[in-house]
Structure 1
Amino acid sequence: MGRPSLWTAFLLPALLLAPAAYSLTIHPSCQGICGGVDIPYPFGIGNGTGTDCFRPGFEITCAMGTTPVLAGTSPAVRVLSLSVMPRAEARVTLPVAYQCYDKNGSATSDYNYGTVNLNPAGVYRISNTYNEVVVLGCNTFGYTNSGPAGRSKYMFYTGCACYCNDSKSARDRECAGIGCCHVDIPPGLTDNWMTFGGSWSHADMEFSPCNYAFMVEKGAYTFQAGDLSMQMTQASMPLRLDWAIRDTNGSSMSPSCAQAVNKPGYTCKSNNSECVDSTNGPGYFCNCTKGYEGNPYVNSGCTNINECERSREEYPCNGVCHDTEGSYDCRCPFGYESNGDPKEKPCNPKFSLAAKIALGTTLVTSLVIVALLSVAITFQKRQIFRRNGGNMLKNVDTGLTFFTEKEVKKMTLNYEISIGKGSFGEVYKGKLEDQTTVAVKKSSTEVDKSKVAKFVKEVEIQARMIHKNVLRLKGCCLEVKFPVLVYEFAAKGSLQGIIHGGKIGQERLPLEVRLDIAIGSAEGLAYMHMHTTSKVRHGDVKPDNILLDAQSVPKLADFGLSKVLAQDKERVEYVEGSKGYIDPEYLEEGNLTLANDVYSFGVVLLELITRKQIEPVEGKECKLVTNFRRAYEQENNSPRCKMFDEDIASEENIPVLEEIGKLAIECLAAEEDRPDMIEVARRLGMLKKVRKHGKTNRQSDHHPEETAADQETGQAPLLASDSQRSVP
């Protein structure tokens, strides 16, 4: 087995759990956090000891003790974050609406309008400032509607049309009507119901078998032509909701600030709080006044800001800073003076005329020296940038952000918070200008001249991998001696740590969560294998390289062993990978194929359903594969059942576990008999559907594919061609 290269370790981001946020609840007995999401009042979970923990309409349910959802929503709307100031906002996820067609162009029964009742108490409005409608597909028109009755059935109709001449029409990152379109939304939208219209034919369009439509936070989705053929029926998108204090129905009678102040029910409880009229629907919300922060909805919730400890860009002071209640003072030190307010003007020494002349001469000389040094440093940085392959990367359309050394030091607070260290570099926690948390990897070794092309190619491969289940490379800094890469931050760490290690690994992990992790990982690998420009093999699939974000969405990481396969196979001089996960045929023959990843994924599937370590044996299959294969070959399924993790080996789960085990055995078969990752992802997705619909059938007499609206009206589900949902 070959030794991993420098760039294998360099391109692996080390990620730790995100720290808990600060929250103010109305009473200490009220639960203040769920699944890592802060729950500040007026939001709340259940009741504390004799205390109402939430204002009516703002209840949050902590599903399974780990997932916050908006109470009363159907289907349940998952909460990503809640904010009380400076914006009254809730970030949530909504399902992607879709309608699929057969090769003859007829609509199939595989559809979902994304219908969500997210506003049962009328407190929420979909933000028109931060969201948009996106429609994907060829030859379709998608739109959403909302609001009370207008001239037509609803007050608002918003959507767009997209068209394709053939399978090559759509282009990556272009969403202007060919394969993808997007449009702003008006204020006042209260719910989500997507509809597909238009009379264009969908026959012979295998390159775009389904139409998709969704509302999404601006900047959160980037179109890729490959998405038209991807399976997105289980996908969801982030959305930002505005909220306000309104009456229980959210009607236009909800009070404004002028009507609510000092009246019963007024919610701005804290001293140093103020009322702000809502701009998206009726009602109002509260903020802490200038110089204070916290939660204005609870008594004493707004506390003084110590401006002297904050950024000088936010609170400038060119002298000595002194904090005061609600503000701060800035004065020049002894012997200095300012030509104005020291918050805006610099403090200068009190010199005589002769001293000022001498100082001026010295300053001019110093400025010349500084200018010369600046030119030299700039030239040196350009040379390092070129040596690290920067010019090569800039000539390729990767979409990467090229950070300066100054920007990297700012985002990491001068490399203050280290979150991991390996043999070839250290990882630091950082924040971008928009406060997005990132992982910043700094190499401890210079780029070898002979490996520049390989490094550039690996970075290019990662930059082009844009998928929700592939860890995103956001940018790099190449003007420094030791290159820096900036990655998406995965808050929950690796799957290895979750299923095998520490306190988290000792907790129960429901079958539904394991199945979601398997599906997401399989879809990420399928995306890599069917990449639009070339086939990409991951090369080191294992739990250590499957990271989970705060919502447990799996992200494939560590592409240091990835290979671009121009054909189906490529011969290598030495075998790379991790013991126990390496395909025996690859180990023996040294032929790189996409099927190598399928074998490794089969081992990961066994770890998910058994929660057992692999125990690799040099030159052979790991003991877990050998033992499970032996148990699988016996007619009696008792040996297999004994291998399943006892936490999930219930009578109800056994059929699904058997199917997952069967699929794993197929992945571990001889290369020519293995399914591809697209087939693996499809079969895992079908298992989830069968399991979900089975539960639905046991709980309800309705057909599992009926929407909530269909069940209420008793009507059959509407297809995209139904004229009853056409645009006015």
Structure 2
Amino acid sequence: MAFWLLVGLLLLTASAAESFSGQSAGCQTKCGNVDILYPFGIGAGCFNGMAGFEILCNTSSDNGGLVPTLAATKPPIPVQSLSVHPDPVVEVMLPVAYNCYNSSGDTVMSFDGSVDLKQNGAYRISDRRNMFVVLGCNTIAFTQNGYSGGKGLYRNDYYAGCTSYCSDAQSTQDDKCAGLGCCHVEIAPGLTDNNIAFQIWPRGEQVEFSPCDYAFLVGKDNYHFRRAHLKMNINQTMPVWLDWAIRNGTAAASSTPSCPSPEAHTKKPADYAYACLSDNSECVNSTNGPGYYCKCSKGYRGNPYVADGCKDIDECADKYPCYGDCTNTPGDYDCTCRRGYQPSGGGPKEQECSEKFPLPAQLALGITLGFSFLVVAVLFTLILLQKRKIKEHFKKNGGSVLQGLDSIMIFSKHDLKKITKNNSEVIGQGGFGKVYKGMLEDNTMVAVKTSIEINKARKEDFTNEVTIQSQMMHNNIIKLLGCCLEVDVPMLVYEFAANGSLQDILHGDANHSLPLTLDLRLDIATQSAEGLRYMHSSTNHTIRHGDIKPANILLTDKFVPKISDFGTSKLLTVDKDFTMFVVGSMGYIDPVFHKTGRLTQKSDVYSFGVVLLELISRKPTIYGENCSLIIEFQKAYDEMNTGRDMFDKEIAIEEQDIFILEEIGRLAIDCLKEKVEERPDMNEVAERLVILRRARKHGPESYSFSPTYFDENSIERTPNSLAAEFSANSCATLSAS
């Protein structure tokens, strides 16, 4: 009795050892066209003892050939291919679930495509390689996996599905599976079973071209939708990929196998059920469910599940990259340059070896080094000269004074290139150069423009101008943010006005001109006057702009006016009231200044009067063929005491509008008086415009001036009679001087 117990114990030990040491001799290694590699096997003792690796080799009822199937699944699943390396996968054929209808829309046939891989077995449905597909018209289908026994809200642990709709067969399209006749979704990892349910919708004419709804798992690269699939054979199967791993066949997490610690490799296979048996193999934890799989180490190839299954790769025989002499080594190979050559770059495994330093190469190297030294010396000298030049520019442009100002930023030449993206966007052309659009590091939009060339005589004036401009803090004066002094001609950085200039808005191309309401024009006039009043009387220095015109009145995105372009301005101290060196723009320049060279506060008043005329007429200073806006307005007010016929018809609509326009016109005529002392100052101009804006809001009765018009003989005239009288007169023939 003891003898037979000993024999049985030896047989059990031999069987256990065999299940982890590899296939027994004489095991069948092929079934049909599929190679059967260990840990898979056919018959007792030929497969790994863990659950799921037994393969059945049966005769097919269709063609009489041999077909391998997975024995551990329910039902047995036909196998297309088995892979041990590089990835542990099995390609199988799974049935298609279907739900078929008659012409009344009633279900006549159905199949849920149920497959059970067993939760504790070797296989998991691959989420990386597969997708869930639904075919049909007006159907919802979903796969449900993992019966939970009522633990959760629903009976299964996982659901995934999608909706497929089509009004007719023509609405579907081959290779398009996005909801019309076909839809698909990703699936989750860890799935071990599949059961498909359909949501039945009312059926109509769709039964003719879509008699059944279909749903199935399929490899992502193994299926492409065709319109003809809406009438698929109900016995159709689809290729599906299964991930497999070494698992212990139980549900207990504590006993789930994983890659062991390094010391476990020293134990005998009979004592430790470790499946990676080849000496040159590695263990990898499964990414789809518990368990692990094995692979050959780098430089080896074969089956890691059998002893001595991973064989060294002969990289030299396999033509691995080598631009020299190749020598195979265990797990790797050596590649050395041939005699007379040396490695270059990444070595002979990556690129050709180079010849060892011949005489021509030595000469070439000497020449190259000498030339390189010369180039470096020249470049170093140029850099020094450039730095010296930058310092000279900085000093010449008043940098020693301006860098001490807290109110502006001093930008380097490199900063400006970065801000303007190498002067890539030109937004204007000023009297002294181009204006570029830029952006600071805090995303503030700016305008960068050229100033004037500085010499020793001009240096003090320029630094004073920049100092005063930086101190002008008024909402209607463009703010100077900083400057660059490292260039020959200084660059000034201003705040950005998104709507361009008043010149562009009033007289630009048809595509750029915008409708301007009377209220908006009055606001622009009033706020521009406020900016000039501040310049004339609210700063420590008396400032004359010298070139007031629509092109130098910029508008923000909210049409707030900003007085700009101080390139021709002069800073006048309290003991000086004129200068001899500023030239303004013809058409806006004060005749007194033009004759005498004296620039006074009243010179800016004159130019602003021209701007007022352009605002209420929307005509340039010279319009038509040769009509002068200033002369025609003066003629109208001298002869008829009204400019009604000159007003822009877009805003001269109601009598209240005419009243406001007449008062603006009279203010402009006062600003344009030839005698300087008879012109109002900017303080009075601004106050009169403020009163007009109040009158516009509260009615003409709030204005202090009478809306009735009188001629020289105090004979009352109505606006209509004046307009009729004036319309008979033609504009004077003038040349644009």
TM-score under structure 2 normalisation? 0.42
Q: Which has the higher contact order (CA 8 A, sep 6+)?
A: 1
TM-score under structure 1 normalisation? 0.43
Whichever of the two has the greater Rg, that structure is 2
